[in-house]
Structure 1
Amino acid sequence: MAIQWFPGHMTSARKKAAETLAMADVVVEVLDARLPAASSNPMIHELRAFRQRPCLKLLNKADLADPESTKAWLRHFSEQPGVSAVAISCKKAGDVAKIPALAQKLAPHRNDAVKPLRLMIMGIPNVGKSTLLNALVKKKVAAVGDQPAVTKSQQRIDISSRLTLYDTPGMLWPKIADPVDGLMLAASHAVGVNAYIGEDVAVFLADYLVQAYPTLLTARYGFAVDGLDGVGVIEAVAKKRGCLQKGRGGEFDLEKASAVLLTDYRSGALGRISLETPALREIRARQLHAAASTADEEGEPEAG
C-alpha cells in the first residue's frame, strides 16, 4: 500500500520556507526518534544544502524510542558534515534548555545583539515542533494537537536580542518513494488518517513487532506470538480486548483491534520501540536500488 499525503498548504509552506532559510543561520530539524530517517523530509535537506546551512537534528520522543537504536542514530548523524544531533523529549524542560547552546556551536559567528543567532525550526507533521517552540519561548505561541498539520503558517519569534526563531508548518514531500516509509509515518501518526487504511498499517506494525519486539507484545496483551504473523497478532488483540462486531455472531472487529495496537504504540504503552536502525535502513536502500535496477532492465526495449 503506497501512502501519500501532501495537502495544498504544504506547497506554499515549502516556498515560504525556502525564502526564510536565506535569513536563518541554523536549521533545527525535529525528527521522530522512533524513525529518524523516515521522518526526515528530503526537501529540508535540499533547501539547507542549497543555502549551505548547518543542521541540528533533534531526535524528539526519545523516551518512546529504543535507547540502543537511538544511540546508533546519533552516531550515524554525527558522521555527516555540518550536522549535529541530540536525543530529547520536548516535554522535558531540561532537554529543551540545551538546544540554543548546541545550535550556537554550529554558527559561532552569530553570538551577540548585532548578529543574533537565527534558528529555523523545521520537520514533518506531528513530530513535536509546536511543543518545542512553546518550551523554548516558555509560553504558548503555537497550537499543539495530536493530529498532523496543526500548524499551517510560519511565524517569527524574537526570544531575546541574541536569539530569533522561525517556526514553520510541518511539511511532507510530494511523493514518498519507499512504501515502508509511508507505513512507518502512518503508524507514527505523521500523515492524515484519510491517507491510509488503519488495518493495513496495524498489520505492518504487528509484523515488525513480532520480529523485533515480541516480548513487548506478550507483556502488553498477554498472548504468545510464536507462529503469528501481523494478521494473527491483530486477531489475538481483538480476542484479548473483546473487540467484537455487534450483530455479527462474535466476529472479531479487526478495525477496532488495529486502533488499539496503533494507539498503544503511539502513546508508548507498548514500550520503547524504534521502527528502524541505520543498519536496517542501509539494507532497505540496497533492496530498493536492486528493485529499481531490475525494473529498468525489464523496461528496456530489445535490441534489434
Structure 2
Amino acid sequence: MTVNQAAWVPKDVDVDLPSAARVYDYLLGGAHNFAADRAVGEKVLQVLPDGRQVAISNRSFLRRAVRFLIEQGITQFLDLGSGIPTSGNVHEIAHEADPSARVLYVDYDEVAVAHSELLLAGNPAATVLASDLTNPDVVLGAPITREFLDFSRPIGLLMVAVFHFVPDDRDPAGIIAAYRDALPGGSYVALSHLTADHQPEAMAGVVEAMKHSRDPMYFRTYDEVAPMFTGLDLVEPGLVSAPEWRPDAGIREPGPEGVYAGVGRKPFE
C-alpha cells in the first residue's frame, strides 16, 4: 500500500480480496484498486478483450441518463451501488447543469465509501451512505436518506451496472420493486445490466473470472432484464444496448454489445 493509498483505504479492508467496484475502476483506467483487483481485471480482459470498452460504454450511459433526468426537472438522485468515484461522477454531471442538485451515493464497499467521503467532504449537495443496496428497507429508512432526499418530489434512482451482482435467490425484481414503490410519481429509474446474449462464451469467462471475488456475477438475458422495469413507463428508445440509448447528437456511440440499458418513469397514481 502506498502513502497516497493510505488516505482512502480503511485499515480493516482486505486488499487481497477483489471487489467489483475496484475491478470496474481498473477497467475504467482509475487508480483506486489493488493488485488482486488488477489481476481479476486482467483475467476479464483475457476472455473479453473489449472489456474496457464495455465498461466505458456503461459509464457513458450513466452520463447521458443523468443529463436526461436533469432535463426532465429531476434535482435529486439516489445512486445505488455507486462504486468508487471516478471521473464523471453523478454529482459532477448533475452540477454542470444544476449546481443545487442533490446526490446520495450508496455502496457497501469500504474503499468506495471512504474515497467518497474524502471526495465529498464539505460538499453540501452530495453525500454517501454505507449500506447494501439489497436491503431496501435499510437504505430507504436510513436517517441520511430521509434527511437528504425529499420523497414528496420526484427522484432519479440510478441502478447502473449493479443488479448483475444480485443472484436470483435474493429476488432482484423484488428489491427493485421495493425501491420503485417508495418513489413518488414522476420519478425516474435508470438501470443497466450486463448480458451474455451477444458474447456468450466471453461473458461466461467473465463470470468465471469473478467467481472467487467478493462480488460474483449473474448475467441475464433481455427477457430477464425487461421485467425489471415493471410498473414504469419506458422512455424512448426503450431497453436497448447501452450505446444505443439516446446517443449524443443522435449518433450511436462506438461500443460493443454487452450491456442493456434503459430509463423508466414512474407514473402518477
TM-score, scaled to structure 1: 0.38
Asked which structure has the greater CA Rg, the reply is 1
TM-score, scaled to structure 2: 0.42
